[in-house]
């Protein structure tokens, strides 16, 4: 399915509404505008397998570009709008993009990239003028509205967030079907597991360039529901949007939960959330106490999944299951879970190792990096793949994640998982954000370090450090307690909530 199907049956239904401005895009408009852009791309010489790059804030045009690529057998490469010019140019060049569509709100960044992307032949800017780019609206106005005889299905080509190094392009095989034909696995999962249908009103509070917001919003449009997209996440604004738009489904990352839980109780109770039936969350581990507090507030509507941009597999867990298995990310719904040691041997239940998903076919590669692709594969089973997470399976087959392999601390020969300590500290009332990681230690190899962003109005210093360390000692084994606490004005997180811990580790390693 794709928007053209719904444009024929309910053309005036909103495919997308902006939560703040109220600006909307009907299915008729989404179908026609994406068709015009698709014909414009073909007229510029692009064809099946070519790449269209998108550098945009959260705007309706983002999905016009998405569906133009998807209905043309092309790849859509959505670029992180918070990157520096050199980082944007790297992704555009590395992806092999032949076209680049940008938002005028990012005009300064877009202009800085112009001379650094020689392979881009078609440049368009929407929402205003940008030097070096043609006007998006004028280009669409002159484009054909003739539906081509064939509309092969395209795919996204997204880059990892780069939390442990330079972003990696994740390139799936193109589907062997037309865009209107069934076969989208995510769409079927959303229908079957979360109950998405044509009546779904889906709130998306995260940046559109990230895999989950992009794919889930597009899936809602493939099904025929309505997407309500926030221009930018705001904790009270999210509650307001649920009430105003009668949201039925939503998706979050744990840092959003923390921000909403720290609202005054009066603010939290001010809004009518009764329409809200399913609140999906993923992207980062959710501290147990945070999730428990959210279930107490919103009811048993939380649905968690564990997956990755690579699409190697997926687990899911609902609220009732989670209350029986606190901290679990569920059982597999796509791909069989295997937990293996460093040599690839499968481990018994309860033992921590590298998490692999096994499927009949692993349909992705890291673009231009066959060695990295090989390193993600199991040494003996060619259809088992991992993204480097550590975890264990319990006796009932529920998966529990412990941390990323790259972030595990080995202190005096003992494995320490920073996530466990972060989960304890994050709800301390004086802490807005926290990162725990290993730093070099001559005696122990590594020691545990915490870097804390204090809550507004909280004074950092030795007294707060003692309070935090005492708090940790009461809740985790003493060998896991940070040796010291540093304070920072802000921690490096991606806009989707992932902690860029590699930057902190590198900074302290140099020091």
Q: Where residue 474 sits, what CATH number does that domain have?
A: 3.30.300.30
Work out how many domains the chain is built from and give that number: 3
pLDDT at 167 over 80: no
Asked if 373 and 365 count as a contact pair (C-beta separation under 8 A), the reply is: yes
- Residues 41 and 160 placed together within one structural domain of the fold: yes
The pLDDT-based confidence of 413 (bands split at 50, 70, 90) is low
- What average pLDDT does range 177-198 have in this prediction? 92
- Residues 380 and 474 placed together within one structural domain of the fold: no
Residue that finishes a domain, picked among 406, 431, 464: 406
Residue 118 vs residues 50, 98, 195: alpha-carbon distances, Å: 15, 9, 45
Q: Is residue 388 part of a domain?
A: yes
- Residues 180 and 112 placed together within one structural domain of the fold: yes
pLDDT at 308 over 90: no
pLDDT in tens, 327-340: 999 999 999 999 99
pLDDT at 164 over 50: no
- Residues 103 and 42 placed together within one structural domain of the fold: yes
pLDDT at 365 over 60: yes
Ramachandran angles phi, psi of 253, nearest 5°: -120, 155
pLDDT at 114 over 50: yes
Report d(CA 401, CA 388) in Å as an integer.
Answer: 11
Partnered with residue 135 across adjacent β-strands are: 125
| DSSP per-residue codes, 168-208 | -EEEEPPPSSBTTSS--HHHHHHHHHH---TT-EEEE-S-T
- Residues 70 and 166 placed together within one structural domain of the fold: yes
User: Whole domain around residue 502: which residue ranges?
Assistant: 408-510
Return mean pLDDT, the chain. 92
pLDDT at 499 over 90: no
- Residues 431 and 373 placed together within one structural domain of the fold: no
- Residues 484 and 340 placed together within one structural domain of the fold: no
- What average pLDDT does range 212-217 have in this prediction? 95
Q: Is residue 23 part of a domain?
A: yes
Q: What is the pLDDT of residue 161?
A: 61
The pLDDT-based confidence of 104 (bands split at 50, 70, 90) is very high
Residue that finishes a domain, picked among 160, 188, 223: 223
Q: Is residue 234 part of a domain?
A: no
The pLDDT-based confidence of 163 (bands split at 50, 70, 90) is very low
- What average pLDDT does range 105-131 have in this prediction? 96
pLDDT in tens, 51-82: 999 999 999 999 999 999 999 999 999 998 88
- Residues 60 and 151 placed together within one structural domain of the fold: yes
- What average pLDDT does range 317-335 have in this prediction? 95
Report d(CA 273, CA 184) in Å as an integer.
Answer: 31
Q: Where residue 132 sits, what CATH number does that domain have?
A: 3.40.50.980
- Residues 359 and 444 placed together within one structural domain of the fold: no
- What average pLDDT does range 150-177 have in this prediction? 84
pLDDT at 453 over 70: yes
Residue that finishes a domain, picked among 359, 386, 406: 406
Q: Where residue 367 sits, what CATH number does that domain have?
A: 2.30.38.10
Q: Which residues contact 38 (CB under 8 A, 6 or more apart)?
A: 67, 68, 69, 71, 72, 148, 151
């Amino acid at each position: 399915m794709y928007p053209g199907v719904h444009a024929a049956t309910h053309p005036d239904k909103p495919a997308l509404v902006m939560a703040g401005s109220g600006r909307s895009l009907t299915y008729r408009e989404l179908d026609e505008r994406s068709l015009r852009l698709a014909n414009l791309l073909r007229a510029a010489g692009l064809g099946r397998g070519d790449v269209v790059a998108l550098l945009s804030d959260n705007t309706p045009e983002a999905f016009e570009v998405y569906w133009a690529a998807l209905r043309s057998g092309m790849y859509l490469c959505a670029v992180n709008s918070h990157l520096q010019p050199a980082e944007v140019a790297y992704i555009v060049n590395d992806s092999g993009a032949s076209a680049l569509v940008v938002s005028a709100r990012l005009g300064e960044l877009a202009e800085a990239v112009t001379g650094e992307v020689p392979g881009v032949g078609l440049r368009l800017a929407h929402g205003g003028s940008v030097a070096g780019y043609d006007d998006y609206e004028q280009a669409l106005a002159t484009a054909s509205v003739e539906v081509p005889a064939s509309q092969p299905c395209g795919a996204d080509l997204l880059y990892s967030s780069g939390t442990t190094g330079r972003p990696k392009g994740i390139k799936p095989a193109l589907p062997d079907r037309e865009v209107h034909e069934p076969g989208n696995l995510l769409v079927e999962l959303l229908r079957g597991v979360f109950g998405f249908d044509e009546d779904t009103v889906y709130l998306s509070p995260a940046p559109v360039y990230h895999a989950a917001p992009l794919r889930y919003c597009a899936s809602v449009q493939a099904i025929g529901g309505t997407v309500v997209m926030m221009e930018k996440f705001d904790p009270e604004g999210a509650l307001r949007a649920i009430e105003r738009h009668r949201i039925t489904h939503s998706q979050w990352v744990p840092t959003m939960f923390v921000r909403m839980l720290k609202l005054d109780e009066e603010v939290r109770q001010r809004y009518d959330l009764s329409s809200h039936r399913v609140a999906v969350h993923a992207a980062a581990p959710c501290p147990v106490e945070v999730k428990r507090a959210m279930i107490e507030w919103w009811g048993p509507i939380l649905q968690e999944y564990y997956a990755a941009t690579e699409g190697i597999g997926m687990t899911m867990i609902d609220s009732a299951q989670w209350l029986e298995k606190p901290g679990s990310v569920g059982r597999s719904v796509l791909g069989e879970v295997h937990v293996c040691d460093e040599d690839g041997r499968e481990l018994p239940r309860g033992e921590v190792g590298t998490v692999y998903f096994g499927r009949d076919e692993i349909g992705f590669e890291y673009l231009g990096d066959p060695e990295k692709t090989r390193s993600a594969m199991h040494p003996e089973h060619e259809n088992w793949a991992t993204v480097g997470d550590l975890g264990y399976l319990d006796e009932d087959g529920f998966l529990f994640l412990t941390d990323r392999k790259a972030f595990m601390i080995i202190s005096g020969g003992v494995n320490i998982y920073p996530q466990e300590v972060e989960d304890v500290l994050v709800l301390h009332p004086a802490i807005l954000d926290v990162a725990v990681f290993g730093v070099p230690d001559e005696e122990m190899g590594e020691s545990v370090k915490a870097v804390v962003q204090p809550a507004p109005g909280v004074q950092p210093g030795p007294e707060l450090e003692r309070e935090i360390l005492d708090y940790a000692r009461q809740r985790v084994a003493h060998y896991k307690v940070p040796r010291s606490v540093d304070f920072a004005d802000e921690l490096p997180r991606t806009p989707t909530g992932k902690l860029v811990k590699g930057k902190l580790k590198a900074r302290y390693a140099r020091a």
